[in-house]
A and B are shown apart, each in its own frame.
Chain A
Amino acid sequence: MAKGLSRARATALRATLAALAALALAPGFVAAATTDCAAEANVDFASTSWGGDARQTRTQANSDIRVDNVAQLRLDWVYALPGGNSPHSYPLVTADTLFIGTQSGVLLALDRASGCKRFRFQADSEVRTALTAGRVGDQALIFFGTRGGFVYALEARTGRLAWSRDVRDHDAGMVTGTPVLHAGKLYVPLSSSEVVLATSGFYGCCTFRGSVSAWDAATGEFIWRSHTIDREPKLTHRHWVFVRNYGPSGAPVWSAPTIDARRNQILFGTGENYSGPSSGGSDAIFALDLDTGERRWRTQYTADDNFNVACNVSADHPNCPAENGPDLDFGAPPILGRLQDGSEVVLAGQKSGYVHALTPDNGTRLWSRRLGRGGYLGGIHWGMAFNEELGLLYAPISDIRQAPPGVEGEPSPGLSAIDAATGEVRWQQPVSANCDGRSRCLAGFSAAPGSNAELVFVGGLDGMLLAFDAASGAERWRFDTWAEFASVNGGDGESRANGGAIDVHGPQLVEDLLIVQSGYAGFGQRGGNALMVFRLTDDAS
């Protein structure tokens, strides 16, 4: 009897091993490394914010990936993010943990080596921003914002809530741009879904005004708020006899602000007016005093840009302003670049396809360079990167879909490196889209790039993840993320993760890791839910 049982066990073991071997050889399989599911996270952060630093350079100094070892990057594990097909968050990494937000409103702390879940925190709604981390007093905190307009501060070690606040001053407000931590204060940009609500002819468009607000990072107490439009919206006219229309409105802040510590000011860009009369605060770069929120200067690049999504329904829609766009927001955070002569310059990428350079002292225009045709989804959409050593700014161009009325030129999607001092183009890499047989595949770079000393990584709307030589622009590495992958969180009922378009926050480089989310369907691209973690290996083949 015992012998028979032993034989049965041996047979079962062999069958299990065979099944595991078959699974390991299947396409898309990713082996998990040693599992460490300790409930507490290490809080020695290797990455702390969307931009890598307060200047929003997106150049990660501690990245170990170089031109001579990039070929040794291997996909290590994939996590199927729950809650939707357009994840909008961006991870943070410590010595042993990767933190990420999800569309289901959950902040996850995952083991850095295996993706095993340490803890989760449920927020009110979709985690819509990247994560920001820092020490406040004796605590390591993680901050993020949600679609519902809340900001959360969590203890990074345990995921326990330190505080949360509704940061809106309008029902349609939401936090899309990542909050920034500086000197004990949290600076929070506010955008709005009112731009979409306007598609209902019954809606009284529009009353939202973009803003940046400051909060005590330790307690969540309110400090100041500065609106991008000075005037409160007033009744302008009625349509359909009864529906009241208001203006000026809009000028949301879609992206993370930038800290200019030397001048004690905070910089950010704005979007268009949702309704007229036009204001000087739309499609502009702002500088505010960090302590008081008082405006130092603002420089507007596109005047009379009055637009909301009702205009995409029909130019005759009662909520579409007469100007009908062209909807040329600043969706990318301005970069405070330090030039090789020691001077500083504000580098701002616009959906118009232009990069603008301004002086941080007073917002004086230095130069502008057109790199793409521009359009509703960029031009330059979510971000750029700056390599201080090379003095090069990396600007991805999307140029997808049709151009707004009045915008001329041919689409020229790709990645450009330009001299930050002069605006001269040093190199350009056009997109060669890998779209054959792929539905909802688009040719363009919409996501923000990530860079280090030697390489620039950029993700395409065709799902291709590419690495270019930072100095020469030569392609050094590529990986096609448009695929289905086995996920490490099968126990959550998410056994497969789907890659698709790479959009929004783009890749992150940190130490030996390259992290990217693949799949985004926010504007008709190919959706997905794959959080992909690549790691440098010893394998030089």
Chain B
Amino acid sequence: MTAAGHARRTAAFAIDAALAALVALLLALIFGVFETAIAYLEQFRLRVGLVGLAGYLLAHGWFLSQGRSVGKRLLGLVVIAQSDGAPAKLPRMLVRMLPLALVLFLPPVWALAAFAVNLLPAGFGERRALHDYLAGTRVSRLA
């Protein structure tokens, strides 16, 4: 398996994020997450973070157990363990999600900065982002 290219990974991420956002919006509507004043005045980031996380897990949950997501599946990508090259299992995938999940709880400017810092190492060498180093993974393209 070869290391995945930037364009393919970016496209997969865009698909994943859009799908997660769609599910999150549906959850917000169904459960009235943003119907009250307190949601905006005191708990906005917390609620955005929690509903975003729930949206991501619901949208991609089954695929995550196979080292994939909807976007990665569509674009022929898989997350593999750096140690043995096997598709990453769910615990490793959850650790890999951690930095991106935390971003959801940050103010917009900080979130963008953290997102950029996380991606920075992916521009070099093994094309592994910070979350890949954290989880001991890398993204590969299926032959």
Contact = CB atoms under 8 A, between A and B. Distances in A.
Contact of A170 (B30, B33, B37, B42): B37
A208 to B, nearest CB: 8
B29 interface: yes
B37 A197 contact: yes
A203 B28 CA distance: 10
Interface in A171-208: 171-172, 193-194, 197, 200, 202-204, 207-208
B28 A202 contact: yes
Nearest to A240: B29
Nearest to B28: A202
Given A202-B28, A242-B29, A171 B38 contact: yes
A250 to B, nearest CB: 14
B41 interface: yes
A207 B30 CA distance: 20
A440 interface: no
A244 interface: yes
B133 interface: no
B36 interface: yes
A398 to B, nearest CB: 29
Contacts of B37: 170-172, 193-194, 197, 203, 207-208
Contacts of A208: 37
A285 B37 CA distance: 27
A243 interface: yes
A241 interface: yes
Interface string A234-272: 000000111110000000000000000000000000000
Contacts of A194: 37
Interface string B29-71: 1101111111011100000000000000000000000000000
A172 B37 CA distance: 6
A242 B36 contact: no
A431 B34 CA distance: 44
Nearest to B34: A202
Interface-central residue, A172, A240, A244, by most chain B CB under 10 Å: A172
A241 B28 CA distance: 12
B29 A171 contact: no
Nearest to B42: A171
Contacts of B42: 171
B29 A200 contact: no
Contact of B33 (A193, A202, A207): A202
Contact of A172 (B32, B34, B41): B41
Given A202-B28, A202-B29, A243 B41 contact: no
Interface-central residue, A171, A194, A241, by most chain B CB under 10 Å: A171
A194 B38 CA distance: 11
A193 B37 CA distance: 9
A171 B36 contact: yes
Contact of A200 (B30, B32, B38, B40): B40
B31 to A, nearest CB: 8
B48 to A, nearest CB: 11
Contact of A244 (B28, B33, B35, B41): B35
B118 to A, nearest CB: 28
B41 A193 contact: yes
Contacts of B34: 200, 202-203
A243 B38 contact: no
Contact of B35 (A170, A172, A243): A243
B40 A203 contact: yes
Nearest to A202: B34
A414 B119 CA distance: 57
A241 B29 contact: yes
A171 B44 CA distance: 14
Contact of B32 (A171, A197, A204, A207): A204
Contacts of B33: 202
Interface string B4-41: 00000000000000000000000011101111111011
B47 to A, nearest CB: 10
A205 to B, nearest CB: 9
Interface in B88-118: none
B81 to A, nearest CB: 40
A202 B35 CA distance: 6
A198 to B, nearest CB: 10
Contacts of B35: 202-204, 243-244
A243 B34 CA distance: 9
A495 B107 CA distance: 29
Nearest to A173: B37
Contacts of A171: 36-38, 41-42
Contacts of A207: 37
A201 to B, nearest CB: 9
B30 A197 contact: no
Nearest to B26: A242
A208 B41 CA distance: 14
Contacts of A172: 37, 41
A534 to B, nearest CB: 38
Contacts of A203: 34-37, 40
18 contacts: A170-B37, A171-B36, A171-B37, A171-B42, A197-B37, A197-B41, A200-B34, A202-B28, A202-B29, A202-B35, A203-B35, A203-B40, A204-B32, A204-B36, A208-B37, A241-B29, A243-B35, A244-B35
Q: 8 shortest A-B CB distances, which residue pairs? A: A202-B34, A204-B35, A172-B37, A171-B37, A242-B29, A171-B38, A197-B40, A242-B30
Given A203-B37, A241-B29, A244-B32, 19 more contacts: A171-B36, A171-B37, A172-B41, A193-B37, A197-B37, A197-B40, A197-B41, A200-B40, A202-B33, A202-B35, A203-B36, A204-B32, A204-B35, A204-B36, A207-B37, A242-B30, A243-B29, A243-B35, A244-B35
